[in-house]
């Protein structure tokens, strides 16, 4: 009953350097002198001037409508467009979306003409302001745009575009939440909510909606009827890193008189995740996270999704012995989370709220007022965008068993008193949308336990710390003392689990030094091992994520040697010494040893 057609491939593309496209109606006619642009992908490395471009770009392609178009409902879906997008079908405006990493869609059923060729035009804008997530601001200087994060502002149609066919009587949305009963480990609960649309929605009978839970053999293990409810699955096979067992939730909608039923499927797994005292419990058992902060980044593709790169990265992650990663600093492609579900990897899923800190100046940004949470800075409009972004994130990713923590920001300036009401509103929205997962944010070094104003609102303490690099450069003895002292202060102040979500040092590939000086591969290895040796002695520290998995592209600047070089792999995924050291350590820590990738069920 359903059909999904990828609109990926080569599109016509043009930079709109002077922002004339709207006034001149670029959607009405074919683009003048276009270049070819692959979708999905970032345009930054593929067109002259792409790296320095600030403002809109335009994409166009032709679509031939199927001859059976009038008999169905048709949806145009974008998996992501960074950061603002507007679309036209021929001369008809479809609408727009703000936020660079969430899917959005438009119904185009009334616009398709059987057998005719239609033009799809999309305007994508990479400009960031103080009221976007992530924030930035525009200037009149040659740079034109400043932003507050240390990675390149890749943009464009970075994920797939689809033309979707459904029956006219259709399933509009399915939300599922799979929970494991910790008091009876062989029992699971599936909470579900189904939204229905179409000609018969006014006379909807809940009995027309059927929910079936299928095991990996395709056998039905539980079923129910209705648009909202709770199913018991017993006995249930829990999802875990050692056994990433997945179930299929199949929703079937068949109103009387409909020519075909609509069937929609969602994959999920039953597991529990919660905080108790200073421990993080998966299925009732304490866990310890080993892994990395990552980026969706590779040469030429930029932030554009690539199935090969995504699978290769997670295979390399498993090769090191890691069991987890953070989606720093934005939600990753849905395909990546599907892989994590199947491979048994644990994920800290982060919204794109990076750079809520005008005093940090990670990118050496000139600011007129270093206060962040204020009118004209990060204010109520930013907060509304932040809340919208976390709601989109939870709606998209809530069914994934791999997602164990929502990360609501990276390095905000939580020393400011005004940060508390801001984050109280964001936290309340997340608790309402998903009360089952712990929440955290990546704390910046300046917001010590004595100065931070918001940590009590969260479940998990997540610390980004660079002793031995940005502080006490090259002095690992000092780094160890400083980190040990700060951890003890956090533990004395809060009885919460701690994850050190960033630590590391830049290493130029091939730079070696008998004295292990900074920038050498030896120093990077030694710093990481110093941290891990110390963190292993604190039972309250339940995770350590090295920054970074692989070298990644950053804005041009004197403080970056062509890229951020903190990766334990190069940008083309070749291991540095630190990668081998982590593999040696983490594979020994695995219980039971897991040299092979777990098979998906």
3-state SS class at 307:
helix
Look up tokens 């059976």; give the residue.
Answer: 68
What are the tokens at 428?
A: 């309340």
Mean pLDDT of 448-452: 97
Q: How far is CA 124 from CA 54, 94, 263, 402, 546, in A?
A: 11, 14, 33, 31, 33
What is d(CA 260, CA 168) in angstroms, rounded to the nearest whole number? 9
Cβ 532 vs Cβ 585: under 8 Å: yes
Q: Provide the edge-to-edge strand list for the sheet that holds 104-107.
A: 3-6, 161-166, 73-78, 104-107
| pLDDT for the residue numbered 143 | 57
* Tokens (6 digits) for 502: 């960033």
pTM of this prediction? 0.95
Cβ atoms 269, 346 nearer than 8 A: no
Convert 106-118 to b/e letters by CB count within 10 Å (16 or more is b). bebeebbeeeeeb
Query: Which of these three, 259, 275, 306, is where a domain ends?
Result: 259
| Environment class of 297 (CB within 10 Å of its CB; exposed 0-12, middle 13-18, buried 19+) | buried
Catalytic site positions: 411, 502
Task: Give the pLDDT confidence score for residue 142 in this predicted structure.
Answer: 58
223 lies in the same domain as 292: no
What pLDDT shows up at residue 365? 54
The yes-or-no verdict on residue 330 having pLDDT over 50 is yes
251 and 291 in a common domain = no
pLDDT average, residue stretch 69-97: 96
Beta bridge partner(s), residue 35 = 13
The predicted structure's pLDDT at residue 139: 72
Residue 364 reports pLDDT greater than 70? no
Q: Label residue 367 by pLDDT band (50, 70, 90).
A: low
Q: Is residue 599 part of a domain?
A: no
**Same domain (yes/no): 57, 115:** yes
Considering the domain architecture, whether residues 162 and 174 belong to the same structural domain is answered as no
pLDDT of residue 596: 44
Stretch 260-265: mean pLDDT: 95
Are 243 and 161 within one domain? no
Whether 278 is in a domain gets the answer no
**Comparing 420 with 199, which gets the higher pLDDT?**
420
**194 and 156 co-located in one domain:** no
Please enumerate, as own/partner, the contacts of 21-28 that have beta carbons within 8 Å and a separation of 24 or more: 21/56, 21/58, 21/123, 22/123, 26/58, 26/121, 26/123, 27/58, 27/60, 27/88, 27/91, 27/119, 27/121, 27/123, 28/91
Nearest alpha carbon to residue 566 among 91, 161, 194, 150 = 150
> Order of strands across the sheet with 170-180?
170-180, 188-197, 228-233
Q: Is residue 488 part of a domain?
A: yes
Same domain, 11 and 159: yes
Both tokens of 338, joined, read: 């599907």
Q: 3-class DSSP state for residue 315?
A: helix
What is residue 244's predicted lDDT score, i.e. its pLDDT?
98
Name the band, by pLDDT with cuts 50, 70 and 90, for residue 211.
Answer: very high
- 216 and 107 both lie in a single domain: no
| Neighbouring residues of 465: CB distance < 8 A, sequence distance ≥ 6 | 445, 483, 486, 500, 502, 503
Taken in order 325, 330, 336, 337, the sign of the CA dihedral is positive
Same domain? 136 vs 215: no
Shared domain for 407 and 479, answered yes or no, is: yes
**Top-confidence residue, 359 or 565:** 565
pLDDT tops 90 at residue 306: yes
- Asked, for residue 567, whether it belongs to a domain, the answer is yes
Question: What pLDDT, on the 0 to 100 scale, is given for residue 185?
Answer: 79
Same domain, 332 and 429: yes
Q: Look up the CATH number of the domain holding residue 137.
A: 2.60.120.260
Average pLDDT of the residues in 187-202: 94
- DSSP at 331: P
- The pLDDT, as a whole number, for residue 49 is 83
Domain boundary (143, 166, 189) is at 166
Which residue segment(s) compose the domain that 483 sits in? 286-589
Q: Does the pLDDT at position 164 exceed 90?
A: yes
- Answer whether residue 266 is part of any domain: no
Is 596 within a domain? no
Distances (CA, A) of 572 to 318, 327, 568, 576, 579: 17, 19, 11, 11, 14
The helix (run of H) or strand (run of E) holding residue 412 is none
Nearest-angstrom CA–CA distance, 120 and 117? 10
pLDDT of residue 299: 86
Overall average pLDDT of the 213-219 stretch: 97
Angle, to 10 degrees, between the axis of helix 307-319 and the axis of helix 334-343? 30
**Alpha helices (H) along 143-228:** none
Write the CATH number for 465: 3.20.20.80
SS (H, E, C) 433-481: HCCCCCEEEEECCCCCCCCCCCHHHCCCEEEECCECCCECCCCHHHHHH
| 479 has pLDDT over 70 | yes
Query: Domain with 179 in it: what CATH number?
Result: 2.60.40.10
**C-alpha to C-alpha distance for 392 and 398, rounded to whole angstroms:** 10
Is 148 a member of any domain?
yes
> What pLDDT does residue 321 have?
97
Report whether pLDDT(291) > 60.
Answer: yes
- Whether residue 491 contacts residue 278, with contact meaning beta carbons closer than 8 Å, is answered with yes
pLDDT at 396 over 50: yes
**594 found inside a domain:** no
Helix (H, G, I), strand (E, B) or coil at 297: coil
H or E element: which one contains 232? Answer: strand 228-233
DSSP state of 592: S
Contacts of 499 (CB under 8 A, 6+ apart): 289, 348, 440, 460, 461, 462, 463, 541, 542, 543, 544, 545
Same domain, 94 and 140: yes
Q: Worst-scoring range by mean pLDDT, 55-59, 64-68, 245-249, 418-422?
A: 64-68
Considering only CA atoms, which of 86, 6, 5, 16 is closest in space to residue 305? 6
Q: What separation in angstroms does the CA of 522 have from each of 19, 511, 580?
A: 48, 8, 11
Mean pLDDT across the stretch 129-144?
80
Mean pLDDT of the chain: 93
Are 227 and 206 in contact by the 8 Å Cβ rule? The answer is yes
Boundary (domain end) residue, out of 133, 166, 199: 166
Q: Quick check: 274 and 491 in contact, CB under 8 A?
A: no
Helix (H, G, I), strand (E, B) or coil at 262: strand
Q: How many domains does the chain have?
A: 3
In the block, which residue shows the tokens 């204010």? Answer: 379
CB-based contact 251:264 (threshold 8 Å): yes
Q: pLDDT band at 601, cuts 50/70/90? A: very low
């Amino acid at each position: 009953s359903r059909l999904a057609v990828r609109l990926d491939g080569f599109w016509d593309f043009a930079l709109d350097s002077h922002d004339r496209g709207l006034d001149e109606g670029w959607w009405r006619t074919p683009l003048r002198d276009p270049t070819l642009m692959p979708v999905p992908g970032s345009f930054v490395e593929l067109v002259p001037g792409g790296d320095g471009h600030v403002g809109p770009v335009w994409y166009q392609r032709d679509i031939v409508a199927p001859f059976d178009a009038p008999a169905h409902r048709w949806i145009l879906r974008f998996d992501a467009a960074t950061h603002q997008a507007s679309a036209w079908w021929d001369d008809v405006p479809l609408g727009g979306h703000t936020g660079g990493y969430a899917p959005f869609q438009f119904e185009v059923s009334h616009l398709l003409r059987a057998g005719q060729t239609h033009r799809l035009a999309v305007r994508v804008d990479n400009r960031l302001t103080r009221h976007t997530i992530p924030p930035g601001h525009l200037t009149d200087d040659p740079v034109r745009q400043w932003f507050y994060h240390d990675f390149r502002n890749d943009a464009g149609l970075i994920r797939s575009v689809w033309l979707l066919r459904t029956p006219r009587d259709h399933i509009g949305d399915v939300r599922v939440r799979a929970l494991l009963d910790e008091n009876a480990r062989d029992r699971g609960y599936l909470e579900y909510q189904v939204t229905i649309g179409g000609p018969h929605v006014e006379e909807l009978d809940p009995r027309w909606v059927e929910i079936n839970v299928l095991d990996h053999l395709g056998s039905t293990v539980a079923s129910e009827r209705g648009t909202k409810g709770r199913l018991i699955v017993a006995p249930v096979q829990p999802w875990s890193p050692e056994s990433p067992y997945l179930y299929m939730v199949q929703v079937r909608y068949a109103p009387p008189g409909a020519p075909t039923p609509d069937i929609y499927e969602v994959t999920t797994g039953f597991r529990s995740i919660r905080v108790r005292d200073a421990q993080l419990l998966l299925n009732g058992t304490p866990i310890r996270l080993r892994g990395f902060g990552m980026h969706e980044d590779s040469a030429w593709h930029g932030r554009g999704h690539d199935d090969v790169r995504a699978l290769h990265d997670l295979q390399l992650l498993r090769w090191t012995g890691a069991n987890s990663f953070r989606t720093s600093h934005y939600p990753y492609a849905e395909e990546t989370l599907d892989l994590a579900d199947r491979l048994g990897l644990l994920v800290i899923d982060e919204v794109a709220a990076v750079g809520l800190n005008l005093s940090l100046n990670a990118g050496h940004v000139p600011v007129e007022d270093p206060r962040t949470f204020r009118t004209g800075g990060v204010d109520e409009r930013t907060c509304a965008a932040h809340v919208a972004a976390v709601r989109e994130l939870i709606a998209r990713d809530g069914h994934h068993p791999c997602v164990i923590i929502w990360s609501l920001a990276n390095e905000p300036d939580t020393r400011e008193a005004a940060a508390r009401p801001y984050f109280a509103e964001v936290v309340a929205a997340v608790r309402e949308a998903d009360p089952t997962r712990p929440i955290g944010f990546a704390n910046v070094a300046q917001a010590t336990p004595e100065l931070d104003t918001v940590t009590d609102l969260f479940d998990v303490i997540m610390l980004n710390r660079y002793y031995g690099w940005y502080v006490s450069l090259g002095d690992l003895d000092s780094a160890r003392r400083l980190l040990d002292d700060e951890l003890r202060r956090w533990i004395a102040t809060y009885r919460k689990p701690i994850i050190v979500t960033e630590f590391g040092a830049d290493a130029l590939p091939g730079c070696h030094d008998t004295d292990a000086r900074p920038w050498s591969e030896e120093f990077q290895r030694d710093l990481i091992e110093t941290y891990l040796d110390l963190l292993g002695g604190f039972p309250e520290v339940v995770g350590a994520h090295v920054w970074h998995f692989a070298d990644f592209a950053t804005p041009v600047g004197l403080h970056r040697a062509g890229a951020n070089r903190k990766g334990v792999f190069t940008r083309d995924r070749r291991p540095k010494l630190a990668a081998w050291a982590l593999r040696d350590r983490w594979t020994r820590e695995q219980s039971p040893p897991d040299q092979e990738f777990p098979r998906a069920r």
